[in-house]
Structure 1
Amino acid sequence: MTEIKQITVVGSGVMGSQIAMVSALAGFDVYLQDINEESLKVAEDSLHGHINKRISKGKISLLEAEKAFARLKFVTSLEKAVAETDFVIEAIVEKLDVKRQLFAEIDRLAPSHAIIATNSSTIVSSKLADATNRPEKICNLHFFNPVLVMELVEVVKGPQTSDETADTAVELVKQINKTPILLKKEISGFVANRILGALIDEAIYLLENDIATVEEIDLACTKALNHPIGPFALLDLTGIDVNYYIRQVLYEETGDENQKPQKVITEKYLNGEYGRKTGKGFYSYNS
């Protein structure tokens, strides 16, 4: 297996920044790269907030936090971020053409031994691999939000992914103190989100047919099914815009009209009501 010493995360949103943080906390040298300087500043401030809360709760020590931040570098230069990297994790917008362009650029700049993984749960690695000259080193490495809390990571082999790449990815997940599962075949949505997707589809059906309210449906899931969070609160947390993009990808992939973003999701997307990140989604949030 490839020995991993340095990790690069591309994309400093909620997912990317927290992937970078858990990697740094585990002792790896990490670059968090984003083309937007302001986004990097927001990510750094957010991470300090999250880590300070964990310190106050006694989950980590101040020294551990300081060492992790010392290992974590925030940069706008992709070339600098991947120049000596061993493992790249892409966590940018869910748009295939943008990801393919990025993978081609990473492939050009990164060392030949480096593995390039996508955090996407809808765009499988076989759709990105041929944008590079290292298809056997391309895979999906799917984390769950919030990454600092959620334990599971799905490692997915595409038809081009080598056993060595998959084994290295699984081992890396363990080294950053997460729990891996290995999918030996590609399938859109993977395991957890396929199950979750069925739940969200049913929740939206109940809402759009005036059977119950957002609050009542979420209560049914938290109080009867013992879920930690209801489906609408979860959509607000992960981003209604993300759900919209995922449904669009599924529709384009399958041609199935049932895979299109539902009416309520489309309305909120067009209104810019993405959830917590915009202050309003299915619920309203104080800034």
Structure 2
Amino acid sequence: MKAENIQRICVAGAGQMGHQIAMLCALGGYETTIQDVNETALTKAESTLETIMNKWVAKNKISNEAKKAAFNRLHFTASLEEAAKDADFVIEAIVEKLEAKQVLFRQLDTIAPNHAILATNSSTIVNSLIAGVTSRPEKVVNMHFFFPPLVMDCVEVVTSEETSEETAQLTMEVCRRINRAAVLLKKEISGFIANRILGALQKEAVYLYENGYADFEDIDIICKKALNYPIGPFELMDLSGIDVGYYVMQQRYAESGDPEDKPAACIEDKVKKGELGRKTGKGWYQYEKEGVRN
């Protein structure tokens, strides 16, 4: 398959990552369908994207004509069959749980055309753990966007030993067309590059907090003032979603069996309370309303 043969993209999952990835694809000229089993999530996704794109128009980041053209290429459906049956490229953006992704990829393998590439936006799960449930492991790849995708100009494209070079290069070409800087990693490791580095920082920050060396607010201040980080580790957890990090740690522990990889008690407590960060109005910090950078 050649890059020009990729015309239709399916994005499975309309959550905080999926809907913005889909808009990038539509802005890049692809006929794009967002699929989610939750109708409410689809409605919210469309409303959120309207708000973001209207702000872009107001700031002259995009013309009103380009915005209308992108929305004309963007479609919403609760049916996976409808979304994937004619797709040339599929991007999965559902919950960060291996079992859920495996279930979805089994379905996609049956529904999507044989030529279609199946990409996972997983932030930590290597694609070889998912590809095995399909009949096309050579066409499965990691395509890890960063939150929020409409702002963050980076994608980690990660191949397994079975991912073909054609799949890797076509995925890189899709990234170029949607105006995102892509980095190709030809060796798998759980968490890839950025999240392994961020994870090490977060792990140490949580250790210092749980052991009473400093309050989380002070740790954030030190990281921003002394290390010149744009955002502290606890603020970043709130922005990304505390549950997302929790599932990542659970998955890494399942793979390694190392107690050091288990989610910290304070993280687990936040998830049990439903205090997941900005998206719920409370995490480490209190928020008056949900906010997404755009």
| Pair in the same fold by TM > 0.5 | yes
Amino acid at match of 2:140: I
SS in 2 for 1:93: coil
Q: Which runs of 5+ in 1 are unaligned?
A: none
TM-score, length basis structure 1: 0.98
Q: Which moved more, 1:51-60 or 1:72-81?
A: 51-60
From 15, 29, 35, the counterpart of 1:33: 35
Amino acid at match of 2:69: K
Q: Which moved more, 1:184-193 or 1:123-132?
A: 123-132
Question: Which deviations, in whole Å up to 9, do the C-alpha atoms of 1:189-214 show, x marking residues without a partner?
Answer: 00111111111111111211222222
From 177, 190, 194, the counterpart of 1:192: 194
Question: Which deviations, in whole Å up to 9, do the C-alpha atoms of 1:148-182 show, x marking residues without a partner?
Answer: 00001000001110010001111111111000101
Q: Which residue of 2 aligns with 1:129?
A: 131
Q: Is 2:9–2:88's contact at 8 Å kept on the other side of the alignment?
A: yes
Q: Which residue of 2 aligns with 1:75?
A: 77
Q: Is 2:124–2:195's contact at 8 Å kept on the other side of the alignment?
A: no
Matches within 5 A, 1:103-182: 103-182=105-184
The reply to whether residue 16 of structure 1 matches residue 18 of structure 2 is yes
SS in 1 for 2:135: coil
Q: Is 2:12–2:35's contact at 8 Å kept on the other side of the alignment?
A: yes
Amino acid at match of 2:154: L
From 218, 221, 235, the counterpart of 1:219: 221
From 205, 208, 211, the counterpart of 2:207: 205
Distance 2:201 2:52 in 1: 29
Q: Which residue of 1 aligns with 2:292?
A: none
Distance 2:282 2:123 in 1: 25
Amino acid at match of 2:50: H
Distance 2:138 2:226 in 1: 45
Distance 1:165 1:159 in 2: 12
Shift of 1:263: 1.2
Amino acid at match of 1:240: I
Shift of 1:283: 0.4
Q: Is 2:26–2:32's contact at 8 Å kept on the other side of the alignment?
A: yes
Shift of 1:245: 0.6
Distance 1:17 1:227 in 2: 28
TM-score, length basis structure 2: 0.95
Q: Which moved more, 1:71-80 or 1:207-216?
A: 207-216
Question: Which deviations, in whole Å up to 9, do the C-alpha atoms of 1:68-87 show, x marking residues without a partner?
Answer: 11110011111110111110
Q: Which residue of 1 aligns with 2:284?
A: 282
Identity of paired residues, percent?
Answer: 55
Q: Which runs of 5+ in 2 are unaligned?
A: 290-294
Aligned residues: 287
Matches within 5 A, 1:240-255: 240-255=242-257
Q: Which residue of 1 aligns with 2:87?
A: 85
Shift of 1:251: 0.5
| Runs of 4+ in structure 1 over 6 Å off | none
Distance 1:186 1:50 in 2: 34
Shift of 1:121: 2.1
Distance 1:186 1:95 in 2: 18
Amino acid at match of 1:121: S
Q: Which residue of 1 aligns with 2:67?
A: 65
Distance 1:67 1:214 in 2: 45
| Root-mean-square deviation (Å) | 1.0
SS in 1 for 2:17: helix
Shift of 1:223: 2.1
Shift of 1:243: 0.8
Q: Is 2:37–2:78's contact at 8 Å kept on the other side of the alignment?
A: yes
Distance 2:231 2:53 in 1: 22
Amino acid at match of 2:137: P
SS in 1 for 2:46: helix
SS in 2 for 1:32: strand
Q: Which moved more, 1:158-167 or 1:47-56?
A: 47-56
